[in-house]
Amino acid sequence: MRGGQNAAAVEIEVSIRRVRDNQQVLLKTYSANAPAQGEGMDAVAAAFTHGMDTIYAALVADLAALPQNPPAPAARRP
């Protein structure tokens, strides 16, 4: 509750690695604040959902901006 108004503050850290070479391609903390549109847990749950939707939209945009076909890692010589 902030200033008498219920709200949801959501923060997650996302780390994504490429399977091929275990290279980290994204590490970012996403956060969102969403006011509850009413009283009670149903309103807070809806605010949480709205906050997560905001975070997921930002994550999808970041994923779409990643290179689609990054070059293969250089071969290691023994």
Region of poorest pLDDT, from 2-6, 15-19, 25-29, 61-65: 2-6
The answer to whether position 70 is within a domain reads no
pLDDT of residue 2: 45
Measured distance CA(39)–CA(65) in Å, rounded: 38
The answer to whether position 34 is within a domain reads yes
Per-residue pLDDT at 72 exceeds 90: no
The more confidently predicted of residues 4 and 28 is 28
Whole domain around residue 12: which residue ranges? Answer: 7-64
Q: What is the DSSP letter of 19?
A: T
What stretch of H or E contains 31?
A: strand 24-35
Considering the chain, what percentage of its residues have pLDDT values greater than 70?
83
Per-residue pLDDT at 4 exceeds 80: no
The answer to whether position 69 is within a domain reads no
Measured distance CA(76)–CA(1) in Å, rounded: 55
The answer to whether position 46 is within a domain reads yes
The answer to whether position 76 is within a domain reads no
Q: Which residues pair with 76 in a beta bridge?
A: none
Please tell me the pTM assigned to this model: 0.76
The answer to whether position 49 is within a domain reads yes
Q: How many domains does the chain divide into?
A: 1
